[in-house]
Amino acid sequence: KDRIDLREIVEKQVQESRMRFKDVAFSIEDSEPVFIAGEKLTLERVLSNLVSNAAESVAETENKFVSVAISNRNRKLQLTVADTGAGISAKVLPHVFERGFTHGKNGGHGIGLAYVKDAVTGLGGTVEIVSSPGEGTTVLVEFPAVNSAKEAENV
The closest alpha carbon to 80, from 71, 72, 69, belongs to: 69
Domain count for the chain, please give it.
Answer: 1
Q: What is the pLDDT of residue 104?
A: 66
Residue 111 DSSP one-character state: -
Dihedral angle computed from the Cα positions of residues 152, 9, 52 and 25, in that order, rounded to the nearest 10 degrees: 140
Q: Answer whether 10's CB lies under 8 Å from 141's CB.
A: no
Q: What is the CATH number of the domain that holds 35?
A: 3.30.565.10
Could you say which residues of the chain have pLDDT below 50? none
- Residues 6+ positions from 32 with CB-CB distance below 8 Å: 7, 72
pTM across the whole model: 0.91
Measured from the Cβ of residue 45, the count of other Cβ atoms closer than 10 Å reads 16
The closest alpha carbon to 4, from 112, 144, 100, 131, belongs to: 144
Q: What is the pLDDT of residue 10?
A: 95
Do you know the residue count of the chain? Answer: 155
Q: What is the pLDDT of residue 142?
A: 96
**Domain span at residue 53?**
2-153
Residue type at position 138: T
Q: What is the pLDDT of residue 147?
A: 77
Q: What is the pLDDT of residue 105?
A: 64
DSSP character string of 29-71:
E-----EEEE-HHHHHHHHHHHHHHHHHHTTTSSS-EEEEEEE
Q: What is the pLDDT of residue 56?
A: 92
Q: What is the pLDDT of residue 110?
A: 81
**Longest alpha-carbon distance in the chain:** 47
Q: Decide: residue 92, CB within 10 A, 0-12 exposed, 13-18 middle, 19+ buried.
A: middle
Q: What is the pLDDT of residue 107?
A: 64
